[in-house]
Chain A
Amino acid sequence: MIGERWTAYWFVLPGTVLLAAILGFPAIASILESFGLQGGAGPAGGYAALLSDAQFLTASFNTALFVVCVVTLHIILGLAVALLLNSQIRHLWFFRVVAILPWTVPDVIGGLIFRFMLDPLSGGVNALAIRLQLMQQPYDWLGDPDWAMVSVIMAETWRGYPYPMLILLAGLQAIPKEQYEAAAIDGAGAWATFTNVTLPSLMPMILIAVVLDVIWQCRLFGMIYGMTNGGPGDATQNLSLFVYRQYFQFFETSYAASAAVVLAAVLLAVAVPYIRATLREKD
């Protein structure tokens, strides 16, 4: 028996070594870097400085605001589209393909597309709004700190909603149709069926979609980089951009690593309950 157990360990060894090399090495290197152990600021100096860095605090606030808004909109829009795609409509395959298309656009490209669309001189959004007489003059949406954040949130809502939508669609399709039939016989209308059958059955999938989307949106870089590069000023700068700038523009490697470790710790705090729930289900 003991021999067999050791044989099993030999089988998992290559995978373990590979994972340790790919995931473990950069993680440990970053943590060491963040404490200045590779020749930067003194131990924990970076972390202390983060707390009084207005840019870091703004980036943290921007990240929180962006994530809350985008994830909320993703779930609402994703659920609405999933409900439509789960219904008996003609040419369903066509609508399914169209609904997933935004997910196929790389996030930097998505950012650039929206940047062009919102351009005050050549952008289609201004031209359309003026033609529809909704406004008199073109507006520099991305030059206004408030509208820039709204624009980034809208752009990422469009680009990223198919992912939660697919999770929720899979969840919807797993609800037995007999539950809907039982509800129909019990006398439930559309709203009562939605709140008593659909939504409660979908809750585990909504939770999974929220957790994964929060992790994804906290790390978002390409869309904001392509669209506003964190501007105007630092109005749309999130933590990923903050880390990027500290590292590649200001070469504050230890400081950047400290911020990255803080971001990773926050993400881990979000991910751990999800992973535990998943493992518990498997048990």
Chain B
Amino acid sequence: MTAVTIRNLNKHYAGYHAIRNISIAIEPEEFVVLVGPSGCGKSTLLRMIAGLETVSSGEIEIVGKVVNEVPAKDRNIAMVFQNYALYPHKTVFENMAFSLRLKKQSRDVVDRRVREAAAILDLGPLLDRKPSQLSGGQRQRVAMGRAIVRDSKVFLFDEPLSNLDAKLRVQMRTEIRSLHQRLGCTTVYVTHDQIEAMTMADRIVVMNTGVVEQIGTPDELYDRPANLFVAGFIGSPSMNLLEGTFATDAGGLYVDHEGHRLPCIALSAARAGTDVTYGVRPEHVHVAVNADPDRHNATVRVVELTGPDRIVALDFAGDTLIATMDKKTPVATGQKVEVSFQADEAHLFDGKTGSNLNSERYASNGE
């Protein structure tokens, strides 16, 4: 039995179709991340699962029970909000105990469960403090503690790390992930940060304008994006996308981009003259700094050092091409270089629909 099943879900606001016929099945103990740009409907979907938004049509099932008409408190879920939503006048203990007190649990049960959750999250010494006396990370942990105490089947996180600084965000990412492994609870996590999604998820649901663009593991999304949107959204720096047309010569099929020959694998669906978008990840842009001058086809515009790598922006056939390079390779702004690509590392997207034409190859390779 799946933990959460969403079937043909729709959400209409006045004159706006926010969620468009979405279906997702989430397995027990799975960590699923909903990711997408602002306004894509990911938070709306999460709030519909929580029972904070009504369903226009379709079904939401939690642990085998359709919950469309079930109030939030009876859905057996726990939710962590972006701004934590702690009760400011209650102590950490009272914040965590509130749901148990409403259920009229005995004093001993409340005390034991709150202290157990506090021990898991290292909140023991902070139980008598008010939220205003806590740091951002501590507040975040209290919000998670409030969720743990409820002993819920499904945990929902709505951009919980957005209010934290970059360093703490990385730390909390690990904490949430290890908490999930420890508690084994099904988790649905919303973020707009694709790095957060890639590092935390068992599976990622990429959303855009109310529709699901692709569902898959982080590897699948990175290596085999279903379409241009996913290709451009997943990965940092994002995939280079060059407009071109299919062409053939004695060497076989290739993509013609402003007179440059971009190698690609043979595709039965490809017709010479049709439009195509040629996608290549920055780590697959091969830059030769010592090539013969007559082979130079790009100019280095900007060089950024990230630590282990260099990110290099190149002027290539009227486009900007991003490449990641080993930081030991000497490269300087204004330098002429030779850029080349490998056919089997390139992604080809239909010029009209944006769908990935390589899917034919994935299928034949059994990927």
Contact = CB atoms under 8 A, between A and B. Distances in A.
A196 B85 contact: no
B166 interface: no
Contacts of B103: 187
A128 to B, nearest CB: 43
Overall SS of chain B's interface: loop
Contacts of A200: 87-90
B268 to A, nearest CB: 52
Contact of A176 (B50, B71, B85, B90): B85
A281 interface: no
Interface stretch (B14-22, B73-81, B286-294): B73-81
Nearest to A189: B102
A184 B78 CA distance: 11
A184 B71 contact: yes
A188 B90 CA distance: 15
B267 interface: no
Interface residues of A, number: 17
A186 interface: yes
A280 to B, nearest CB: 14
Contacts, number: 61
A65 interface: no
Interface string A165-205: 00000000000101101111111100010001100110100
Interface string A10-48: 000000000000000000000000000000000000000
B88 A181 contact: no
* Most chain B beta-carbon contacts within 10 A, residue among A181, A185, A188, A197: A185
Given A186-B99, A192-B102, A197 B81 contact: no
B81 A178 contact: yes
B52 interface: yes
A178 to B, nearest CB: 4
B77 A185 contact: yes
A224 B98 CA distance: 48
Interface in A66-82: none
B72 interface: yes
A185 B49 CA distance: 12
A183 B73 CA distance: 9
Nearest to A175: B88
A14 B246 CA distance: 79
Contact of B102 (A178, A187, A197): A187
Contacts of B71: 184
B297 interface: no
Contacts of B23: none
A181 B87 contact: no
A183 B95 CA distance: 10
B85 A182 contact: yes
Contacts of B51: 184-185
A186 B72 CA distance: 8
B83 interface: yes
Contacts of A181: 50, 52, 72, 79, 81, 85
Contacts of A183: 87, 98
B103 to A, nearest CB: 6
A187 B72 CA distance: 8
A201 B72 CA distance: 23
Contacts of B79: 181-182, 185
B54 to A, nearest CB: 13
A201 B86 CA distance: 12
A201 B87 CA distance: 9
A125 B90 CA distance: 48
A192 B73 CA distance: 13
A184 B47 CA distance: 12
A197 B90 CA distance: 10
Contacts of A188: 73, 98, 102
Given A196-B87, A200-B89, A186 B77 contact: no
A83 B2 CA distance: 42
* Most chain B beta-carbon contacts within 10 A, residue among A182, A183, A188, A197: A182
Contacts of B102: 186-188, 192
A181 B102 CA distance: 15
Interface in A138-153: none
A186 B77 CA distance: 9
Nearest to B150: A186
A185 B95 CA distance: 13
Interface string B138-154: 00000000100010000
Nearest to B71: A184
B72 A184 contact: yes
A184 B52 CA distance: 9
B87 A197 contact: yes
Interface in B79-128: 79, 81-83, 85-90, 98-99, 102-103
A267 B71 CA distance: 49
Contacts of A179: 85, 87
A197 B99 CA distance: 13
Interface string A190-223: 0010001100110100000000000000000000
B83 A176 contact: yes
Given A185-B51, A185-B78, A188-B102, 12 more contacts: A178-B85, A181-B79, A181-B85, A182-B79, A182-B81, A183-B87, A185-B77, A185-B79, A186-B150, A197-B87, A200-B88, A200-B89
**Which 5 residue pairs spanning A and B have beta carbons closest together?**
A178-B85, A187-B73, A186-B99, A182-B85, A200-B89
6 contacts: A181-B50, A181-B72, A186-B146, A187-B102, A188-B98, A201-B88
Interface of B: 50-52, 71-73, 77-79, 81-83, 85-90, 98-99, 102-103, 146, 150
